[in-house]
Amino acid sequence: MTVGDGRYGSDAAYLHAQGVDVIATSLTDERLRYAYEKGHIPVYRAENAERISLTDGAVDFVLCKEAYHHFPRPPIALYEMLRVARMAVVLIEPLDNSKILDGVKRKLKTLIRGDREQQFEPSGNFLYRLNIRELGKLMTAIGETAIAYKGINDFFHGRFANYAAHELNIGALLTHSGITAQNALSRAGLLGFGLGCVVVFKGEPRADVCKALHVAGFKMIPLPRNPYVQ
């Protein structure tokens, strides 16, 4: 199930195209209905991430991409997503992991894009960036065993938005260069990754899953075990 998939169910449409059996959900279903009628998604429903109407363990996985940081009470949504997921919740979200050059990046964003506000978004919400350490603590407190994490950088400038991403053109070239430069700095530990793909497991992840994630560049973070609970 996707959560916060209100851009015409694009996350579910992608998964559906990969052969995944998926339910698209978002706070309202107008755009989802349109995507359904156009044949892009197989099933949809309106769901508030903070109060999901499904039963416990109703779906295998929940994917929440670029939506968690909009929620007014993010941990409540996280507990809800964990409740309805049987195996894991996958978040693809902005990260809170500032490194030495992040101040410079913020200044560049103001210079290049004219960004004046970096804590609140025009849609009205506080930009709740995910902190991996804090997420690990939340999950340890409810007895979960592991999370997996992979850093991602992106680059967006409105001027390049209409250039084709996979063709040779100035927009694609500058976008790819922006990502490559950030990736190099992030790998050198000088710049925090702007985004992260985080897998929050329910129960112990299987060895083959850990191996596949490792091959895909994820870092496994085992959570501390509580010695007082058998």
Complete edge-to-edge strand list for the sheet that includes strand 2-3: 44-46, 24-26, 2-3, 59-65, 85-94, 195-201, 146-152, 219-222
Residue with tokens 């968690």: 68
Q: How many residues touch ligand SAM (CB under 6 A)? A: 17
Q: Which of 33, 45, 48, 131 binds ligand SAM (CB under 6 A)?
A: 48
Asked whether position 6 contacts ligand SAM by CB under 6 A, the answer is yes
The Cα 147–Cα 228 span in angstroms is 21
The Cα 124–Cα 115 span in angstroms is 15
- Which DSSP string corresponds to 125-156? -B---B-HHHHHHHHHHTT--EEEEEEE----
Smallest gap from Cβ 146 to ligand SAM, in A, equals 25
Q: Which of 14, 42, 66, 83 binds ligand SAM (CB under 6 A)?
A: 66
Asked whether position 140 contacts ligand SAM by CB under 6 A, the answer is no
Asked whether position 129 contacts ligand SAM by CB under 6 A, the answer is no
Asked whether position 67 contacts ligand SAM by CB under 6 A, the answer is yes
**What are residue 44's phi and psi, to 5 degrees?**
-150, 160
Q: Which of 12, 23, 24, 49 binds ligand SAM (CB under 6 A)?
A: 49
**What are residue 32's phi and psi, to 5 degrees?**
-65, -40
Binding mask 12-31 for ligand SAM (x = CB under 6 A): --------------xx----
Q: Which of 1, 4, 95, 197 binds ligand SAM (CB under 6 A)?
A: 4
Q: Could you tell me how many residues make up the chain?
A: 230
Q: What is the DSSP letter of 164?
A: -
Asked whether position 131 contacts ligand SAM by CB under 6 A, the answer is no
Asked whether position 183 contacts ligand SAM by CB under 6 A, the answer is no
Asked whether position 80 contacts ligand SAM by CB under 6 A, the answer is no
Asked whether position 50 contacts ligand SAM by CB under 6 A, the answer is yes
* Footprint of ligand SAM (CB under 6 A): 3-7, 10-11, 26-27, 48-50, 65-67, 70-71
